[in-house]
Amino acid sequence: MRLSEVTWTDVRDADVDVAFLPVGSTEQHGPHAPLGTDALNAVAVAEAGADAYEGAGDGQGADRGEVAVAPPIPVGVAEEHRAFDGTMWVSPETFRAYVREAAESLVSHGVDRVVFVNGHGGNVEALAEVARQFSRDDAHAGYGVAFTWFDAVGDHASDMGHAGPLETALLRATNPELVREERVEEASAGAADRWGEWVAGVNLAHDSDEFTDNGVVGDPREGDAERGAELLDRASASLAELTAAVVDRDAV
């Protein structure tokens, strides 16, 4: 169920196993992809993952309850894209507090398992800390983990850039009207080959405009809708597998 579309009585009467809290960002994604890419993709994976968990192709779905898919958190830790117009961000401190408190509010209704479904690399570190704090907090007694979709797509993961093949592919499969196809050539021509400027294992660049002029890393031409559908399948299967383990895990 999508929390923003059901009623409180629906939630009261439902058998909810776990909540998914999609977490995105509002930040540049090159000239061809929307600022909201990370939240759009996180929501797409969360909804497909919820279907996969509830329907469970492994034959165990009949015993399972529902997933409550929360509305996405749209602004994250993204100051690295501050040079590009329209990008928004909050500090890691604000982000952690907001996401954690949002998750804790679900525990008060008995939904004590939460998977943070993330679509933005800049959120990873902060979300890992949120999941730890959420799980260790005896006052709320919840358990949560953070899941980042592009880390859960098998051998595709090495192609993750920024607004590159993977993110563009998933958008083409799930929100194709939002990809400016007529700008994909331009996006590709101005793209960097890799994220950052690395010396001795250290990234010298703190901001993305130091290594990409148009905000793109990787070639968005290499991410068609067919690849996007495969990414969605892989990410949602991974999320369903993870969710089953989170639900079955004894409370910490």
Nearer to Zn ion by Cβ, of 66 and 80: the residue is 80
**Smallest gap, in angstroms, from Cβ of residue 114 to Zn ion?**
22
Beta carbons within 8 Å of 107's beta carbon, 6+ residues apart:
140, 141, 142
CA dihedral 9, 10, 15, 19 (to 10 degrees): -100
Candidates 30-38, 76-84, 168-176, 233-241; binding stretch for Zn ion (CB under 5 A): 30-38
Q: Closest distance between Zn ion and the C-beta of residue 24, in Å?
A: 8
Contact region with Zn ion (CB under 5 A), list: 144-152, 163-171, 173-181, 196-204: 163-171
The answer to whether residues 119 and 45 touch, using CB atoms and an 8 Å cutoff, is yes
> Phi and psi at residue 61, in whole multiples of 5°?
-60, -30
Helical packing angle, 92-107 and 124-136, nearest 10°? 40
Which one of 56-64, 71-79, 128-136, 159-167 is the stretch in contact with Zn ion (CB under 5 A)?
159-167
For Cα atoms 22, 27, 130, give the angle at the middle one, nearest 5 degrees.
Answer: 40
Asked if residues 118 and 146 have their Cβ atoms less than 8 Å apart, the reply is yes
Structure tokens at 234: 């892989």
Name the minimum Å distance from CB 119 to Zn ion.
6
Segment interacting with Zn ion (CB under 5 A) among 53-61, 110-118, 162-170, 201-209: 162-170
Question: Which region, judged by CB under 5 A, interacts with Zn ion, from 32-40, 70-78, 178-186, 208-216?
Answer: 32-40
To Zn ion, the closest distance from the beta carbon of 58 in angstroms equals 31
Q: Which of residues 176-215 bind Zn ion (CB under 5 A)?
A: none
Cβ nearer to Zn ion, comparing 134 with 147: 147
Choice from 22, 34, 38, 140 touching Zn ion (CB under 5 A) = 38
Size, binding site for Zn ion by CB under 5 A: 3
47 scored as a contact of Zn ion (CB under 5 A): no
Nearer to Zn ion, 131 or 163 (CB): 163
Q: Dihedrals φ, ψ of 22, to 5°?
A: -70, 140
User: Are 44 and 174 within 8 A, CB to CB?
Assistant: yes
Specify the residue, 81 or 140, whose C-beta has the smaller distance to Zn ion: 81
Euclidean distance between CA atoms 145 and 234, whole angstroms: 18
Residues within window 52-91 making contact with Zn ion, judged by CB under 5 A: none
Chain residue whose CB lies nearest Zn ion? 38
- Terminal Cα distance for the chain, rounded: 26
Query: Which residues would be at the binding site for Zn ion (CB under 5 A)?
Result: 37-38, 167
